Amino acid sequence: MLSDQELDRYQRHIVLKEIGGQGQARLQSASVAVIGAGGLGNPCLQYLAAAGIGRATLIDDDTVGLSNLQRQTLFTTADIGRSKVQVAAERLAALNPHVVLNPVARRLTPDNAATLLAGHDIIADGCDTFATRALVNRSAVALGIPLVSAAIGPFEGQLGVFAGHLADQPCWACFAGAPADIPGNSCADIGVLGAVAGLIGSAQALEVLRLVTGFGEPQLGRLWLYEGLSLATRSIRVPKDPACPVCS
Ligand SMILES: [Zn+2]
């Protein structure tokens, strides 16, 4: 049930016929695990908290550094050296006290992934290594939880919505393969335009909201690609790989 205060807070959602009071109530009872509280996790969490997601678990073992502030807009100069998930949880609680926040200042590992991710309705991955992405995908398929996976390059981004636990749906590995062998390029190595992180992280929040409330066209099994130098976008369907070692 939404309180009078919440009805006021979410009024701009509630007037949308695609969301309405029912969609807002669904958001209130939904939970999301967000992996990475960096360039993608910041805007994703900000919009999910503002939108009134019920519960969010923030997973990241990193601390705020000066070079993060160019794109990670939940943090300020005074936060340098502090735990990212701790600072993010404070800012999000100030933004929307109705959201239950669970900051976990740990790196996701094969040992803790199932425990940390179980019990969530959706997983949003914005982590910084291919190995962790592959681990998140394996965990999502094993736990039967839909995954909204986002990644960015210097001027480009991609966003995929996966439910690989379903017989007819691809998982992230169906298109990415077994990328544990691929050396990851970090933002520190190759650079990234801050606003691109903001755009893709916000789009990631949008897809979480779509999964919860069901507005518009379902995006399961689709990959959205953004190229910022030319401002080109496209959306492709990912086929389920019958030889995928994760989901088939
Ligand atoms: Zn697969």
Q: In this predicted model, what pLDDT tens digit does every residue of 154-207 receive, in sequence order? A: 999 999 999 999 999 999 999 998 655 555 567 777 899 999 999 999 999 999
CB hemisphere CA count around 4 (13 angstroms)? 0
Q: Return the pLDDT at 190.
A: 86
Residue 55 alpha carbon to ligand 1 centre in Å = 28
Residue 161 alpha carbon to ligand 1 centre in Å = 12
CA-based nearest residue to 147, from 184, 120, 168: 120
Residue 122 alpha carbon to ligand 1 centre in Å = 17
Residue 246 alpha carbon to ligand 1 centre in Å = 5
Rounded to whole angstroms, the Cα distance separating 64 from 74 reads: 10
Residue 179 alpha carbon to ligand 1 centre in Å = 13
Residue 247 alpha carbon to ligand 1 centre in Å = 4
Helices 41-51 and 194-213, packing angle to 10 deg: 40
Neighbour order of strands in the sheet with 55-59: 100-104, 55-59, 31-35, 122-125, 147-152, 156-162, 222-227, 232-237
List, run by run, the mean pLDDT of 10-residue segments along the chain (248 residues). 94 97 97 98 98 98 98 98 98 98 98 98 95 96 98 96 97 83 67 97 98 97 97 97 96
Do residues 221 and 152 touch, judged by C-beta distance below 8 A?
no
Q: Which two tokens stand for residue 138?
A: 């394996």
Q: Return the pLDDT at 1.
A: 83
pTM for this prediction: 0.96
Residue 113 alpha carbon to ligand 1 centre in Å = 18
Residue 47 alpha carbon to ligand 1 centre in Å = 29
Q: Return the pLDDT at 62.
A: 98
